[in-house]
Amino acid sequence: MLTVLGAYSWVNIKFLLEGAWVTVFVSVLSIILSYIFGIILGVIRYVKIKYLSAIVGFVIDIIRNLPLILILFFTYFGLPHIGFKPDPIWASVIAMAVFESMMVAEIVRAGIASIPVGQMEGARANGLSYWQALRYIVLPQAIRNMIPAIVSQFISLVKDTSLATIIVLPDLMNHAQIIYGQNTNYTIPMFLALAVMYFVVCYSLSLLSRYLEKRIGGNNSKKHDHAVEQAIENGSDA
């Protein structure tokens, strides 16, 4: 009992929270970047732009089939050989943003492909260009359908930050290792603390996913009608 209490001293808890902050920072920044680039790459792959879509698809397939830890190693140990030397935090952000962008891109491509072709045909019949129909009609519906898969991928990203311990990222896992490395009696208590902290972050993302599904789903019909009207007006003006 004393061992457990000692493991959860304020000094240790504060040290863990400092590591948790790094985990959250790396995760949030990686999520934002991978979401933006993932949508762009997914759309490029879907629309079949000559040569470009094929090249993007080839790169996505390669990176998706590489282990994240290999990309972390390349970012931290490989980039310095070409004159760019990121610290562990930015190396982790770059590696995870690149890796997750490819995952999100494939989710986006599949999500757009799942929308009935009649949606695109109907929008084109109402005077919209291909890109207007994709932007105002198809993509909003696809993103709504993709929310569970994308959030699930981002939850995996949060947990995968622990892999960056290998390049000495001062994250939650790294700080826990330092604590139980100084006192092996703290090993189990630290594992329990890690489980609780990762659960809180990941479960919060799950709740956010459910909230977004309900909110977007509830307002979908009104937003869809408004988007159609706006897109038709834009098409007419053009």
**pLDDT given at position 233:** 60
The pLDDT tens digits for 38-68 are 999 999 999 988 899 999 999 999 999 999 9
Nearest one of 186, 209, 207, 167 to 70, comparing CA atoms: 167
Share of the chain above pLDDT 70, in %: 88
Using DSSP's 3-state secondary structure scheme, residue 196 falls into helix
* Cβ neighbours of residue 13 closer than 8 Å, sequence gap 6 or more: 193
Task: Assign 216 a pLDDT band (cuts: 50, 70, 90).
Answer: low
**pLDDT given at position 32:** 93
Question: What does the pLDDT average to over 121-137?
Answer: 86
More confident residue, 221 or 97: 97
Residue 33 to residue 97: CA distance in whole angstroms:
6
**pLDDT given at position 238:** 47
Amino acid at 184: T
Task: Assign 211 a pLDDT band (cuts: 50, 70, 90).
Answer: confident
For the chain, the average pLDDT equals 86
The pLDDT tens digits for 224-234 are 555 555 555 65
Residue 139 to residue 130: CA distance in whole angstroms:
12
Q: Quick check: 208 pLDDT over 50?
A: yes
Question: What does the pLDDT average to over 10-26?
Answer: 92
Domains identified in the chain and CATH numbers: 2-237 (1.10.3720.10)
Angle at 113 between CA 107 and CA 117, to 5 degrees: 160
Contact between 45 and 61 (Cβ < 8 Å): no
Share of the chain above pLDDT 90, in %: 50
Q: Quick check: 221 pLDDT over 60?
A: no
The pLDDT tens digits for 134-185 are 888 888 888 888 888 888 899 999 999 989 988 888 899 999 999 999 888 8
Distances in Å between the alpha carbon of 231 and those of 116, 141, 156, 238? 19, 15, 36, 10
Q: Quick check: 91 pLDDT over 60?
A: yes
Question: What does the pLDDT average to over 82-110?
Answer: 93
Contact between 167 and 88 (Cβ < 8 Å): yes
